[in-house]
Amino acid sequence: MRKIAAGNWKMHKTAQEAKAFFELFASLVPQAKSEILFAVPFTALPSAVEAAQGKNFLIGAQNMHDEVKGAFTGEISAPMLKSVGASFVILGHSERRHLFLENNAFICRKLRRACEENLRPILCVGETQADREEGKTTAVLQTQLSECLEGLSFENAQKLMIAYEPVWAIGTGKSATPEIAEQAHLICRTALAEKWGKEAAKKIPLLYGGSVTEETIEALIVRPNIDGVLVGGASLDAQKFANIVNRIN
């Protein structure tokens, strides 16, 4: 499997800033071996998609609604994302879960819709500091996976990517150690194998996210169950993210 380097810009960059970023970024990663993804704000999607034409990276969104249309003021649907060229979408990010109160059932509906509309979902899961201290990490990951993936067909599972993002590591500068990340990825891999079989589970990319930097990438990416990374803060700077991408073989 090709390794994946995904950037999550969160609520950063206007359309113009995105354009300038990609002009510089493209010149910094001519030899990239990994699959490169950028989850950009909705308003930057068209300019990002245009900038990515003929380049070695894909553009996606950070959220969507599960219905295709209707009276949902302020929301964006999967067909709308497709119509501007998005090819994937992040779902269930911990900021959506904690700040916008999204639960597993809602995330599950979004996930099924994304697959139906041929948008590859990146499902985020992860425990809080308190969960970890109370020894609940395995149970939390298993519950998030089983409830978010309920009813997802074997065929649609082929489109799925999972990001393990421990809440305590996001934006804190305190990345999980490669050992902790690998352990959590193994828990996820095992849960996926129980659902869809070992072979299918092996093909679902498992990304690690939480304070990944150019300093931490190499030790993480060599672990057997870490297929890629989801990078927040360090993906906002073209040179820093290029340094991460260029350290992935």
CA distance 106 to 65: 9
Residues in 45-74 that interact with ligand PGA by CB under 6 A:
none
Instruction: Determine the size of the site formed for ligand PGA (CB under 6 A).
Output: 13
205 touches ligand PGA (CB under 6 A): no
Which of 205, 213, 219 is CA-nearest to residue 235?
Answer: 213
From 35, 65, 93, 95, the catalytic residue: 93
**Which neighbouring-strand residues pair with 80?**
none
- C-alpha triplet 56, 165, 53: angle, nearest 5°: 15
Residues in 149-168 that interact with ligand PGA by CB under 6 A:
165
From 35, 127, 165, 182, the catalytic residue: 165
Compute the least distance from the CB of residue 236 to ligand PGA, in Å. Answer: 9
81 touches ligand PGA (CB under 6 A): no
Compute the least distance from the CB of residue 71 to ligand PGA, in Å. Answer: 30
CA distance 166 to 129: 8
Q: Which stretch binds ligand PGA (CB under 6 A): 137-145, 148-156, 180-188, 225-233?
A: 225-233
Establish whether 65 is a catalytic residue. Answer: no
CA 40 to chain centroid:
12
Establish whether 12 is a catalytic residue. Answer: no
Q: Which stretch binds ligand PGA (CB under 6 A): 15-23, 27-35, 80-88, 209-217?
A: 209-217
Q: Which amino acid is at 128?
A: T
- C-alpha triplet 170, 63, 25: angle, nearest 5°: 65
**Which neighbouring-strand residues pair with 53?**
none
Longest dimension (CA), the chain: 48
Query: Is the Cβ of residue 6 or residue 26 nearer to ligand PGA in the bound state?
Result: 6
What is the β-pairing status of strands 120-125 and 57-61?
Answer: unpaired
Q: What is the DSSP letter of 100?
A: S
Binding ligand PGA (rule: CB under 6 A), the pick from 16, 23, 130, 171 is 171
34 touches ligand PGA (CB under 6 A): no
Contact yes or no for 148/104 (Cβ under 8 A): yes
Report residue 144 as tokens. 């998030």
| CB-nearest residue to ligand PGA | 232
CA distance 207 to 116: 22
Query: Is the Cβ of residue 13 or residue 196 nearer to ligand PGA in the bound state?
Result: 13
Residues in 230-249 that interact with ligand PGA by CB under 6 A:
230-234
Contacting positions for ligand PGA (CB under 6 A): 8, 165, 170-171, 209-212, 230-234
Query: Which residues are designated catalytic?
Result: 93, 165
